[in-house]
Amino acid sequence: MVNIKIKYLVFVCSVSLLFYSCDEVFPEAPAENELLDGPMEGLSFSEQNRFLAGDVAFNDEIFTPESGLGLCLWPLPVEAVIQEMGKVILSPRLHDLGRHHPTKIQTSHLEPHNFRTGPFRDLSRRGYPLESLL
């Protein structure tokens, strides 16, 4: 009888410990309307699979040192990629043009004097003439 009581007590304590431990380990999940991620409602099974493939491509594939371009990526005009946790991710933070990468990756081609040969040379360079209007 005593043995059963002890077992019961240990069980209750274990469950309680597990419950409160998990409560501290896992923060409360954000509500659906507080998330900026996830597929829209109403996708078919095959569309959800395509969404997941795109999710991987957008968020992981290209930006990993192991399987993608990794750290050789550095944005030219947007200057908005940072190196974080061994993975280059899109960042909302702004970086000054010509700033050197913290990992000392060669970025001299990004210096301002070379920017005029960069990506916006034909699109939005200062003084570039407007395309003719209709």
Partner 1 sequence: MKFTPPAVTGLGLLAALTDAQILENSDPEDIDGDGISGVPNYITPPDYFQPQWFHQSFSGKFIGRFGKKAASIDLLQQTATAYNQDMGVTSTFEPLDVATDLTIDPEVSDQTIRDVVFYLRTLKAPIQRDRDVSDVIHGQQIFSDIKCGSCHIPTWTTPESDIEALSNKTFYPYTDLLLHDMGAGLDDGATEGSAETYEWRTPPLWGLGLSADSQGGELFLMHDGRAKTLEEAILMHGGEGSTSRDSFEQLSETDKQKLLTFLKSL
> Among 44, 85, 102, 104, which residue sits at the site for partner 1 (rule: CB under 8 A)?
44
Give 69's contacts (C-beta < 8 A, 6+ positions apart): 62, 63
Instruction: Give the nearer residue to partner 1 in terms of CB position, either 44 or 103.
Output: 44
Q: Region of 44 please: left (phi>0), alpha (psi -120 to 50) or beta.
A: beta
**How far apart (Å, rounded) are the C-alpha atoms in residues 128 and 122?**
8
**How far apart (Å, rounded) are the C-alpha atoms in residues 99 and 45?**
45
106 binds partner 1 (CB under 8 A): no
Minimum CB separation of residue 129 from partner 1 in Å reads: 8
Closest C-alpha to 124, from 73, 77, 74: 77
Instruction: Give the nearer residue to partner 1 in terms of CB position, either 76 or 87.
Output: 76
109 binds partner 1 (CB under 8 A): yes
Question: Three-state DSSP class for 72?
Answer: helix
Instruction: Give the nearer residue to partner 1 in terms of CB position, either 22 or 29.
Output: 29
Which residues lie near partner 1 (CB under 8 A)? 31-34, 36-44, 47, 50-51, 53-58, 61-62, 69, 73-81, 90-94, 97, 109, 115, 117-120, 123-131, 133-134
